[in-house]
Amino acid sequence: MKREDLLVKYAEISTDIYRKLLDKVLAESPIVRFDEGKAALTFPGESVLPLNGVYVMLDKTCDPVRIVRVGTHEVTSPNGLLPRVFNHLVSSKNRSILRKHIGSSLLSGNSKKLGKWLLKKEKGDAATEAAVTDYIEKHLEVAFLPVNELKALPYLEKYLISAVALATVTDPGLMTARAEWLGNSCDDPTVAEYGVWNDDHVKWRPKDEAELRKLVRTLDKYLS
């Protein structure tokens, strides 16, 4: 298969992957919400949350709700899924790439503050950190894809981020849903272009048919 044909096929598959992932987590996963002003997570009912796996962040203010970030925890940190999610809420821009991207979007019209915010060694100012937390609380909620095979997590994260990002820029419905999204003004061009709060793996593409088949097999296993 020619390279261009492979990429067209992957674009078609990516939309299907996006839909399967969204449908699965909405149907099967507890939805965790960020309590406004409390730096806490709200767990629905008596739900049992997975200790290991992939988290899927949803923007509840988009119409329809859409996936805006996919992530996981380190393979070397068993049972680290919830701590990783909680870290995005209560840490700082230097410990959470999500917070860094949201902050740079909020500061897009203030070049002086944005410049300081983007410095790795510079501590984020309290007002912007508070604004980032407020945005997370008001816009985002989290669902989970349980995965007990820790070795599979890096592959799943890569495949899902790539497919979700590609679907977001090729599916007309998703392109419309992101029209007013804050990340469109993010300093990171990958975030702004692809419509997700991810930058790693967003531009990954299968190099050949064998790798595409591996992706499909892997995701079918966890999304079926």
Q: What pLDDT is attached to residue 38?
A: 59
Tell me the C-alpha distance between 182 and 140, whole Å: 12
pLDDT tens column, 33-62: 877 665 566 666 556 789 999 999 999 999
pLDDT tens column, 165-223: 999 999 999 998 899 999 999 999 999 999 999 999 999 999 999 999 999 999 999 99
pTM confidence score: 0.94
First and final C-alpha spacing in the chain:
27
Q: Is the pLDDT of residue 26 over 60?
A: yes
**Pairing verdict, β 32-35 and 40-42:** antiparallel
State CA 68 to chain mean position distance: 5
Q: What pLDDT is attached to residue 1?
A: 83
Tell me the C-alpha distance between 142 and 61, whole Å: 13
Q: Considering the chain, what percentage of its residues have pLDDT values greater than 70?
A: 95
The reply to whether omega before 64 is within 30° of 0 (cis) is yes
Tokens in use for 220?
Answer: 């079918």
Q: Is the pLDDT of residue 63 over 90?
A: no
Q: What pLDDT is attached to residue 146?
A: 95
Average pLDDT over residues 146-159: 96
Average pLDDT over residues 2-31: 95
Average pLDDT over residues 145-159: 96
Residue 155: CB atoms within 10 A of its CB come to 14
Average pLDDT over residues 131-150: 94
Inter-residue contact 199 to 191 (CB < 8 Å): yes
